[in-house]
């Protein structure tokens, strides 16, 4: 029986994966509570998030990028394939501080794409491989563990490492988009100073979810490595 497993008790899960899971839960609670707080605070300018997004894009020479609605909650995103900034239903028509911050953030991604921001290009390039890794890494690893095939275990670890790499590259992409958003908001006076501080809190809370995702991936990766070494 591999070290670290005693009568069905997996210490690596409790020492690595569980703390990362709790961090992810806390980050999700933080972003939802912060967003809920500032989604109830309307901007004194009275402009909707869609109107603000349109201005930001036009001011950066991105008139060809569309602003459109998308279903769901907090599903806002920028699609570089279609050049569309998607704003969720509750963001699109809202003039709240939270909605404007979210819209400006997604426009930041559009500006990154137009300027060929390095980390964004790298993240886009590895997405196909990352999708394979996220689907096959764990099954391959545990099949290798079950039948004592070290090669399969190592392939699983390598594929999951690509998932962790994707999460790592995502951090500068998201942080940079938020910095661009807050800078644009300040330069163009889209929000008052107090409102801008509220938008910053919303975007900072959202950034925590990406930090938590990276922590979860690294914890799981380390767990796989430890299990593999103990098995060998």
Tens digit of pLDDT for each residue in 176-191?
999 999 999 999 999 9
SS3 84: strand
Write the DSSP string, 52-68.
Answer: HHHHHHHHTT-TTSEEE
pLDDT tens-digit readout, 142-187: 999 999 899 999 999 999 999 999 999 999 999 999 999 999 999 9
Active site residue 106: yes
DSSP helix/strand/coil, 29:
helix
Exactly one of 90, 106, 174, 195 is catalytic; which is it? Answer: 106
pTM of the model: 0.88
What pLDDT score was predicted for residue 13? 80
Strands 66-70 and 84-88, by their bridges, are parallel
């Amino acid at each position: 029986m591999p070290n670290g497993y005693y009568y069905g008790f997996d210490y690596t899960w409790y020492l690595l994966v569980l703390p990362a899971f709790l961090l992810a839960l806390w980050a999700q609670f933080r972003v939802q509570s912060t967003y809920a707080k500032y989604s109830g605070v309307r901007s004194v300018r009275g402009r909707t998030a869609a109107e603000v997004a349109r201005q930001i894009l036009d001011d950066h020479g991105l008139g060809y990028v569309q602003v459109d609605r998308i279903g769901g909650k907090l599903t806002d995103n920028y699609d570089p394939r279609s050049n569309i900034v998607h704003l969720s239903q509750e963001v699109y028509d809202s003039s709240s501080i939270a909605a404007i911050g979210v819209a400006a953030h997604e426009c930041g991604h559009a500006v990154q794409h137009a300027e060929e921001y390095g980390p964004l290009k790298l993240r886009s390039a590895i997405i196909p491989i990352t999708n394979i890794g996220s689907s096959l890494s764990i099954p391959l690893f545990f099949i290798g563990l079950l039948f004592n095939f070290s090669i399969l275990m190592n392939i699983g670890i390598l594929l999951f490492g690509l998932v962790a790499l994707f999460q790592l590259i995502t951090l500068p992409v998201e942080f940079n988009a938020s910095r661009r958003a807050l800078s644009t908001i300040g330069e163009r006076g889209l929000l008052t100073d107090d409102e801008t501080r509220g938008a910053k809190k919303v975007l900072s809370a959202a950034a925590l979810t990406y930090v938590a995702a990276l922590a979860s991936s690294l914890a799981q990766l380390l767990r796989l490595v430890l299990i593999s070494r103990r098995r060998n």
